Structure 1
Amino acid sequence: MAAGGFSYAKIPSGGTVGHLDALRDLRAWPGAERWGPALCFAGVALLTVAWLLLGSAVRSREATVAAVHRAALLWAVPVVVAPPLFSADAWSYAADGFLTGHGASPYVTPPAVLHGPIVQAVCLCWRHTLAPYGPVPLLWGGAVDQVTSSPWLLMLAYRALAMVGLGLLMYAAPRLAGLAGLPAAEASWLAVASPFVLADGVGGAHVDLLLVGLVATALLATVTRGWLVGAVIIGVATAVKAPAVVAGLGVALVSARSLGGGPRIWAAVRVAAVALGTAAGIGIVSGLGVGWVRTMHVAFVLHTPLSITYEAGRNLRWLFHSDAATVADAVGVGLMVLGCALLLTRAPVGGVRGPFTAAGVAMLLVTVLSPVTNYWYFLWCLPLLAMCRLPQTARRCLVALVLALGLITPLDPSLHVPNGWMIIEGSVGAALLVALAWERVLVPSMVPLAAHAGFVSGSGAAGDGRPRGPRRG
């Protein structure tokens, strides 16, 4: 994936890497724009196979949490220094950080005012739009800009933020899974080590990975430190991206002391007040203010076929003789609010399983019912759902969705792959078939392969003739 990214991904002409003769020669090779994406597809495919082998070792209780985390870090290393993969959003982060570091608010000033390498790799559709992100990533970019204005190093600084999010997930996932009564290694395998998380979160350097890492940490802190600490961390996550505030639902339900509606609503109000106050306070103290509240709509400029409500409205034109996408978007937001209200009033309290699941489902509703849904937006919810105790069918569908999103990651919209969305639909269907066959076919056949690949210990590998007792993950 890293080699493919270096050959075709957007890279500004200036900066540390842009001046390397070897890289310039590599990108000048005939056909580099074709075999570069092919290398990325091959890399994702190999990573998927390795992930499935690791999953087989986890299911047979031969791979521990440490083994899963070690594999995830080793797989992430090559892409840490690569250009942004499968999306150029990280270059927009770098430009906004540059603006912040030079005293201009990205909520008022778009990247189009900049000149030179810092804006060269920013997508044309985003050069004239204001930043829809919270103050945390902007302040981080502004702080790094005080040290260097190299667009390459600024981009790597945002990948470092993604790695922080991955580290938070590594810390929280096994502990949350243990509280929910799930095998810790299995939860970490699905939440941390999947090709979807590594390719989109780390490779794409999206701040969404930091968001979900903070949310997972907030849920854990609510149990261990109290609701106030959890609400403050939710506020920090909201200051990364606004949808994180919905996960405060889980914090409220954990802290609710009664099954009645009144205590639940009061718990939700106080959590929301602390979270929003924290997010607003970060903006006000930093001088950026809360301008991101009025700029969030810029993300709705580009609609994608993954947005269910938008596609439904667009395809109903034949019935209404007009584009009903706007109405469908409003209906989607209404369903989102209704779903979260039902979760708040109906989800079980008095423990952690119900609140954790409610937080994951609430973030799933926000993801799929938003007017715009990019595939990396599923980072908001899928790692959280991986730590929840779900029915077996739902668990299989979750594995299928993670598998499918990993496989379609290389379909960067900027590549304009012919029939790309048909490929996405086919990948989702194939992944569903894989998930349905997971326990009956793949796991028994892959355990010997996992042992041979070294994912399992020699003393417990299948076929060694020795008894295999359960091992704590």
Structure 2
Amino acid sequence: MVGAGSLRRIPAGRSDGDAAPLNGTERAQLSRLRRWGTVGSLLLMLGAGSSYGSASPIPNPIDGIRIAGLLSRIGPAALACSYTGIGLVVLCWFLIGRLAAPGRPRRLSRSQLSHTLAMWAVPLLVTPPLFSRDVYSYLAIGSMLRHGFNPYDSGPYDSLGDGDPFAHQVDVRWQHTPSPYGPVYLIIARALVGIVGDHVVIGILVQRLVELLGVAMIVWALPRLARICGFDPVAALWLGALNPLVLFHLIGGGHNEALMLGFMLAGLVIGYRRSPLAVVTGTVLISCGVGIKATAAMALAFLVIMVALRAGGRWRDLFRVGAVVGMVAALTFLVVTWASGAGFGWINALGTPGMVRSFLSLSTSLGVGSGQIGLLLGLGDHTQAVLDVMQPVGTLIGAVIALVVMWQCWQRRLNPILGLGIAMGAFVLLSPVIQPWYLLWAALPLACATADARYRRVTVWLTVLFSVTIMPNGATIAVFVIVQAVVVAAVGVAVVWWLLRRQGLLPTKDGADSEPDRPTGGRPDRTVSSAD
């Protein structure tokens, strides 16, 4: 139960300040896991040289180069390389999680976790886009604005034609569809293309650097939100910032979710501070996140609940805070919409992503499954008709769940940050389309709000599942090639796991006090300092 004037909900187990540093054995385990995770990132970088291992530009700039272009000519080997890298990163992240488990007597420090994130992220900064061609859509939107076209009126290929260096790089599914991104991102995309001109490779790298600002805001906000919720900041950073979906999609993929989530989380942190100016600033930041993707709007409702509960939890507090947040958000939107010069057409384009059938979506999978059953029964193909019913119903159910969760938060039965994670999770899983990185909408608030093993276990296993269910190039690859790559990757990851186990370098989750302060198997590993 959350107290009448407080948001804090202290989880069972030790608080952040009670945990001791890792002992020698655990530091050796961390060091080895870090290095194997870095090997995984390097393998992803190596495989990205091929159109099988990344969403590389067309034509691939490294084609024809004697050494660097080798993997571009042997796509199946590149895919196996990439999948092995994915497996190693996921395995090492999972095992490092044992050293960051809530309630553990010894836990790794924030600096150790931040250094691990940096080691794994650096190789992904110089690759072509991974897992999706959305970066080219962002650049094409900037090019449209630069040439005087409105991205809300037509698709990039329709406006710019094949001669534009960005338009023909866009995924064929989005070449003729208007942009679903808000006015804030249009302003960013126009400025970005104004800097890079027509250079595709430079545009990819600059776009990734822009999204790194969002990742930096995430890393800044997660431990602070965790402290607001009375939770361990290190455990929050492990599940949130070091999450493979952040590495693969926000950094490697350069998705604008990084900025959306960064603005959203930073706005919650600042908005909860005890000052009217802080509430205004937090609302502006969250509204900027909404101006990138509309999903962030849910955080505005939970910010109102957070601040109203802190003010006393009366209905008049809720209405007063709601009025302030609503007016500031509306004014922010008017300003950024005017600055973008593109109007409100993005509202009509919000359904654009739903044009793709996403089998990770519960409502879409049920709709397609029902249509296939109709075919088997000889009733004809009514798949689209079923989807036209199931998808809106799924969205409605998700919205109802979100409203119920808000009510539970207002009644002080749920921490509002935890409530935001649950509401986002329900909305994502029941929406018409799900991309793997959409899970982060729910995972990041959950990471810093609860030590409940049920929520964290579901988040961890969904992360593992979503990390391996999409091709590194974001496109379709022949099934037999995928099977070959998965078999090779499984063997490689199994060998690494066996080596770690044989050398006594699999950390225990409970961190028993009796665990020796040195490696217990194989040759002694180099000991790293507790601040490393």
1:205 aligns with 2:254: yes
Matching residue of 1:438: none
TM-score normalized by structure 2? Answer: 0.74
Matched letter for residue 403 of structure 1: V
Pick aligned residue for 2:196 from 148, 170, 186? 148
Q: Could you tell me whether the CA contact under 8 Å between 2:222 and 2:240 is conserved in 1?
A: yes
Is 1:179 aligned to residue 224 of structure 2?
no
Equivalent in the alignment of 1:235: 287
Structure 1 CA distance for aligned equivalents of residues 300 and 294 of structure 2: 12
Give the superposition deviation at 1:237: 0.1
Q: Which protein has greater RCO, CA pairs closer than 8 Å, 6+ apart?
A: 2
Which one of 324, 335, 342 corresponds to residue 281 of structure 1?
335
In structure 1, the partner of 2:443 is 382
Structure 2 match to 1:464: 517
- 1:364 and 2:425 equivalent? yes
For the structure 1 residues 280 and 343, does the alpha-carbon distance in structure 2 shift closer, same or farther, using more than 3 Å as the test? farther
1:224-271: CA deviation from partner (whole Å, max 9, x where unpaired): 253322211110000111111011122011111344556446644543
Post-superposition CA distance 1:297-333 (Å, at most 9, x none): 2211112111111222333345796432111122122
Query: How many residue pairs get matched?
Result: 440
Residues 344-359 of structure 1: matches in 2 within 5 Å?
A: 344-348=406-410, 354-359=415-420
Letter in 1 for 2:476: L
Show the counterpart of 1:52. 94
**Alpha-carbon offset, residue 4 of structure 1:** 1.0
The within-5 A match list for 1:111-126 is 111-112=156-157, 113-114=160-161, 115-126=163-174
Using the TM superposition, give the Cα deviation of residue 420 of structure 1 relative to its aligned residue in structure 2, in angstroms.
11
Gaps of 5+ in 1: 424-429, 431-441, 453-459
1:164, CA displacement in angstroms? Answer: 1.2
Q: 2:454 aligns with which of 389, 393, 398?
A: 393
Q: Tell me how far apart the structure 2 counterparts of residues 220 and 472 of structure 1 sit (CA, whole Å).
A: 26
Separation in 2 of the partners of 1:99 and 1:307? 31
Cα RMSD for the two superposed structures: 3.5
Tell me the distance in 1 between the aligned counterparts of 2:453 and 2:502. 20
Which residue identity lines up with residue 505 of structure 2 in the other structure? L
Please give the alpha-carbon distance, in whole angstroms, between the structure 2 residues aligned to 1:223 and 1:34.
Answer: 50
Distance 1:6 1:73 in 2: 22
8 Å CA contact 1:97–1:145 kept in 2: the answer is yes
Describe the superposition over 1:410-435 as per-residue Cα deviations: whole angstroms up to 9, x where unpaired: 46551345399999xxxxxx9xxxxx
1:66 aligns with 2:111: yes
Contact 2:56 2:473 in 1 (8 A): no
Structure with max Cα Rg: 2
For residue 350 of structure 1, report the CA deviation from its aligned partner: 7.0
Q: Secondary structure at the match of 1:296?
A: coil
| Stretch moving more, 154-163 or 80-89 | 154-163
In 1, are the aligned partners of 2:55 and 2:131 still within 8 Å (CA)? Answer: no
The alignment status of 1:26 with 2:26, answered yes or no, reads no
Per-residue deviation, residues 356-382 of structure 1 (Å, max 9, x unmatched): 112212221221121111111112221
Structure 1 residues 390 and 461, CA gap change in structure 2 (3 angstroms)? closer
After TM superposition, the structure 1 = structure 2 runs for residues 72-221 of structure 1, keeping only pairs within 5 Å, are 72-112=117-157, 113-114=160-161, 115-149=163-197, 150-221=199-270
Task: For residue 282 of structure 1, report the CA deviation from its aligned partner.
Answer: 0.5
Report what 2:361 is aligned to: 307
Distance change in 2, residues 1:295/1:355 (3 Å): same
Residue of 47, 54, 75 corresponding to 1:4:
47
Q: What SS does the corresponding residue of 1:36 show, helix, strand or coil? A: helix
Change in CA separation of 1:410 and 1:461 when aligned onto 2, cut-off 3 Å: farther
Whether the 8 Å CA contact 2:49–2:68 is kept in 1: the answer is: no
Distance 1:230 1:34, change over 3 A: same
1:295 corresponds in structure 2 to: 349
Native 8 Å contact 1:180 1:387 kept in 2: yes
Deviation at 1:13, TM superposition (A): 4.6
Does structure 2 conserve the Cα–Cα contact (< 8 Å) formed by 1:56 and 1:450? no
Distance 1:252 1:123, change over 3 A: same
| Counterpart Cα distance in 2 of 1:391 and 1:58 | 14
- Does the CA-based 8 Å contact 1:303-1:373 persist in structure 2? no
Kept in 2, the 8 Å contact 1:177–1:183? The answer is yes
Q: Which amino acid aligns with 1:359?
A: L
Q: Structure 1 residues 301, 158: CA separation in 2 closer, same or farther (over 3 Å shift)? A: same
SS of match in other structure, 1:281: helix
Please give the alpha-carbon distance, in whole angstroms, between the structure 1 residues aligned to 2:187 and 2:62.
25
CA distance in 1, matches of 2:514, 2:111: 17
Identify which of 378, 391, 408 aligns with 1:329.
391
Residues 182, 389 of structure 1: 8 Å contact kept: yes
Is residue 310–residue 329 contact of structure 1 (8 Å, CA) maintained in 2? Answer: yes
Partners of 1:2 and 1:390 lie apart in 2 by: 34
Distance 1:378 1:106, change over 3 A: same
Give unmatched runs, 5+ long, in structure 2.
1-43, 485-489, 491-497, 520-529
Query: Relative to structure 1, is the Cα distance of residues 385 and 412 closer, same or farther in structure 2, using a 3 angstrom cutoff?
Result: farther
Aligned to 1:271: 325
The change in CA–CA distance for 1:156 and 1:272 in structure 2 (over 3 A counts) is farther
Q: 1:36 to 1:465 in 2, by over 3 A?
A: closer
Relative to structure 1, the CA distance from residue 139 to residue 446 in structure 2 (aligned partners, 3 Å threshold; closer, same or farther) is: farther
- Aligned position for 1:222: 271
SS across alignment from 1:292: helix
Going from structure 1 to structure 2, the CA distance change for 1:110 and 1:58 (only over 3 Å counts) comes to same
| Distance 1:42-1:369 versus aligned 2 partners, 3 A rule | same
The code of the aligned residue for 1:33 comes to G
1:426: which partner in 2?
none
Native 8 Å contact 2:142 2:193 kept in 1: yes
Distance 1:2 1:364 in 2: 31
Task: State the 1:465 CA deviation.
Answer: 7.0
Residues 49-92 of structure 1: CA deviation (Å, up to 9, x unaligned): 22133222223534111111111122111111100111111111
What letter matches 1:211 in structure 2?
M
**Contact kept? 2:130, 2:474, Cα under 8 Å:** no
Rounded to whole Å, the distance in 1 between the matches of 2:297 and 2:201 is 31
Q: Partners in 2 of 1:186 and 1:337 — Cα distance?
A: 29
Does the aligned pair in 2 maintain the 1:199–1:409 contact within 8 Å? no
